[in-house]
């Protein structure tokens, strides 16, 4: 775990943050300092308490924190319990050497109600303008205490317009026993590890946006006398390029509950009731949801449409999903990279891609089409969807890509894009002869349900074609369009294509 945190805390990330703040004032914090003198603008007079340096900063400033365990100080803010660190303005709070050696430690207490008075979450954030940035810390032993905001044991965005940004952090062993978001609440988390946290709902995160995060071994369990246990890994959150594994929900959604997932890998999560992988999801796109466990619906249950996903059984809503085994490199030992024969290679939808890199930081699209899951296979031999090629017994070494297997005039790559069958010459994208109607010329083409088409027309082939209609969703068998502007003798030439 620390190895990954160290990898994330590379020179590139540090340089980017520092260059962003070159015109701002920099304040320094050293837990082992011996001469703290406000305003703490050099290492020789560094604050020994993070909050002291924050309190003399203003919007746009940088607070640099060197190695140490920061387990003292704190304040309550906006009706919350105590925060070990409170960020109420748009500053960047950043460690020098990363989360492996820089810890913010909260305070967990036994009991409920008034017993939580002495509890302390690690970081509370809020801003009425640009959000604050927290980068390069381990947040641990935090607990959301008493007050109006009992959510977010590790870090919580408590008040303001823009959610706080948390980057390159490790959130481990935090609690929100009777509320939401054991690790994080209402934050944007980028390149973070969220592990071993617990909450009533959203053991790892609640109401957050997670980008390139590891969410593992978190728990959602009911509190004393309270219903709950929803979303072991994340609840009501949006997840991009994340690994979500080994999380547990006492009720529903071992991996996630009520969330959106794009290019995520959701594996080996469990729930006691239903939706071991995801439950009551919103959009699930380009995701692997496999090998999860629950008493009912072990992988997926309820919610919105699944599109270009690898899961089983086949979802009731959505399109272009596959049930094939994703063929991980090493499922048992938690290596969820794709093997060279994985059906998930080139099987996603580029329209859903939101970034240029995969979970490893490698190019997100290689071979022309995005893969399913958090990892992009970097050396595909074929430009075809591997799942599609395997379905028809075609090789995935690239030798079949440009071959017209059934002799219908379309090569296999074109057949894949058109959604036609490469081993059946009668399954082909082609126009039927146009027919006249009172309203105009009726153009019909052989089509496939769910494929999106465009139709073009020309009256002079030398002059090129112009668009008649685009984004036309095809019907099973054939699709028809009436060209109401074709009202004279013509001539009219038509062509149809796939978008």
Mean predicted confidence (pLDDT) in 230-242: 98
| C-alpha distances in Å from residue 468, one per residue of 272, 402, 437, 475, 482 | 54, 30, 17, 18, 10
Mean predicted confidence (pLDDT) in 81-109: 94
Tokens of 4: 């990954």
pLDDT tens for 47-67 read 999 999 999 999 999 999 999
pLDDT tens for 302-311 read 888 999 999 9
Rounded to an integer, what distance in angstroms lies between the CA atom of residue 499 and that of residue 93? Answer: 46
pLDDT value, residue 75: 85
Rounded to an integer, what distance in angstroms lies between the CA atom of residue 281 and that of residue 303? Answer: 4
Give me the sign of the Cα torsion angle 114, 116, 120, 124.
negative
Q: Can you name the residues that pair with 63 across neighbouring β-strands?
A: 27, 93
Mean predicted confidence (pLDDT) in 350-359: 95
Give me the sign of the Cα torsion angle 33, 34, 37, 41.
negative
pTM above 0.75, yes or no: yes
pLDDT value, residue 144: 84
Architecture per CATH, 2-338: 3 Solenoid (2.160)
Question: Could you give phi then psi for residue 213, rounded to 5 degrees?
Answer: -110, 150
Tokens of 183: 């690790």
């Amino acid at each position: 775990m620390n190895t990954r945190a160290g990898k994330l805390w590379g020179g590139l990330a540090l340089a980017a943050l520092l260059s962003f703040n070159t015109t701002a004032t920099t304040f320094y914090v050293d837990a082992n300092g011996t001469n703290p003198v406000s305003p703490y603008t050099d290492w020789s007079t560094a604050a020994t308490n993070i909050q002291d340096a924050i309190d003399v900063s203003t919007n746009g400033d940088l607070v640099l924190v060197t190695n140490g365990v920061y387990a003292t100080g704190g304040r309550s803010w906006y009706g919350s319990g105590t925060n070990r660190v409170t960020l109420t303005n748009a500053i960047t709070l950043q460690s020098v050497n990363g989360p492996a050696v820089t810890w913010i430690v909260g305070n967990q207490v036994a009991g409920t109600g008034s017993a939580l008075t002495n509890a302390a979450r690690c970081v509370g954030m809020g801003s009425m303008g640009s959000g604050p940035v927290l980068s390069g810390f381990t947040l641990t032993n935090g607990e959301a205490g008493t007050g109006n905001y009992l959510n977010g044991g590790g870090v919580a965005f408590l008040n303001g317009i823009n959610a706080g940004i948390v980057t390159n952090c490790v959130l481990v062993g935090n609690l929100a026993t009777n509320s939401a978001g054991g690790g994080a609440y209402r934050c944007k988390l980028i390149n973070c590890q969220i592990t071993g946290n617990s909450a009533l709902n959203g053991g790892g995160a609640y109401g957050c946006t997670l980008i390139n995060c590891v969410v593992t071994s978190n728990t959602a369990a009911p509190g004393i006398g309270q219903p709950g246990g929803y979303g072991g890994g994340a609840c009501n959150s949006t997840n991009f390029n994340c690994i979500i594994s080994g999380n547990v929900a006492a009720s529903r959604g071992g991996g996630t509950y009520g969330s959106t997932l794009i290019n995520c890998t959701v594996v080996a999560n469990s729930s006691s009731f239903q939706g071991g992988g995801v439950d009551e999801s919103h959009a699930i796109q380009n995701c692997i949801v496999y090998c999860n466990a629950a008493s009912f619906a072990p992988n997926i249950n309820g919610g919105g449409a699944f599109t270009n996903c690898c899961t089983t059984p086949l979802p009731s809503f959505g399109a272009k999903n596959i049930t094939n085994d994703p063929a991980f490199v090493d499922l048992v030992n938690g290596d969820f990279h794709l093997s060279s024969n994985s059906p998930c290679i080139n099987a996603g939808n580029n329209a859903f891609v939101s970034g240029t890199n995969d979970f490893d930081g490698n190019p997100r699209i290689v071979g022309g089409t995005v893969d399913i899951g958090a990892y992009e296979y970097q050396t595909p031999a074929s430009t075809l969807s591997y799942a599609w090629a395997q379905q028809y017994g075609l090789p995935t070494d690239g030798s079949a890509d440009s071959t017209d297997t059934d002799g219908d005039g379309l090569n296999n790559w074109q057949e894949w894009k058109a959604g036609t069958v490469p081993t059946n010459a009668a399954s082909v994208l082609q126009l039927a002869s146009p027919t006249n109607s009172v309203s105009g010329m009726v153009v019909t083409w052989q089509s496939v349900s769910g494929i999106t088409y465009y139709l073009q027309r020309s009256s002079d082939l030398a002059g090129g074609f112009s668009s008649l209609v685009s984004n036309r969703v095809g019907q099973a068998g054939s699709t028809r369009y009436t060209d109401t502007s074709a009202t004279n003798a013509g001539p009219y030439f038509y062509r149809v294509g796939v978008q």
